[in-house]
């Protein structure tokens, strides 16, 4: 499960929907894996304003990932028009001024889309329910008395 998804998934119990403690679910005993993906700059730009940045920081902290800045980056920081030094020689005149992915965008891509939770548990901070994650798949089936 991608770190991106951890920023959106909530406890499945109806009783937890309204509780602020139910989000984000807390990863426990997480085994992480990097799964390489093609970078999709427009997708990152699309979801960036939708992220709960504080929740992302907390989850990254709990997973022992890199420290994130305290405020969310602005969409303007995702692209740069200055060609990277190594590219200048090859870029033709028209290409040189095209906006290109910034380092920030690359880092967000790696964190949100390539860093995945392969196994472990997700725990609700409100009701304590534990959702198992195995082979990257999270089990959100609830026993009927919890629905």
- Binds 81: which of Zn ion, other proteins, none (CB < 5-8 Å by kind): none
Q: Which residues pair with 2 in a beta bridge?
A: 116
For 143-147, the CB contacts below 8 A with 24+ separation are 146/13, 147/13, 147/14
Contact set with other proteins (CB under 8 A): 1-2, 4-5, 8-12, 14, 23, 30-38, 40, 42-43, 46-47, 50, 52, 64-66, 113, 118-119, 132, 134-142, 144, 147
Query: Are the CB atoms for 81 and 4 separated by under 8 Å?
Result: no
Complex with other proteins: residue 36 or 89, whichever CB lies closer: 36
For tokens 């303007």, what's the residue?
Answer: 76
- Binds 127: which of Zn ion, other proteins, none (CB < 5-8 Å by kind): Zn ion
> Shortest gap between Cβ of 66 and other proteins (angstroms)?
7
Complex with Zn ion: residue 18 or 89, whichever CB lies closer: 18
CA 69 to chain centre: 14
């Amino acid at each position: 499960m991608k770190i991106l998804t951890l920023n959106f998934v909530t406890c499945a119990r109806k009783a937890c929907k309204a509780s602020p403690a139910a989000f984000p679910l807390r990863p426990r005993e997480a085994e992480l894996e990097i799964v390489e993906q093609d970078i999709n700059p427009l997708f990152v730009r699309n979801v960036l304003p939708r992220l709960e940045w504080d929740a992302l920081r907390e989850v990254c902290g709990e997973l022992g990932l890199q420290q994130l800045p305290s405020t969310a980056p602005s969409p303007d920081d995702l692209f740069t028009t200055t060609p990277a030094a190594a590219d200048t020689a090859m870029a033709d005149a028209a290409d040189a001024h095209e906006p290109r992915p910034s380092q920030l965008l690359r880092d967000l891509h790696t964190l949100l889309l390539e860093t995945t939770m392969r196994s472990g548990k997700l725990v609700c901070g409100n009701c304590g329910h534990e959702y198992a994650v195995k082979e990257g798949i999270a089990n959100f089936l609830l026993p009927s008395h919890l629905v």
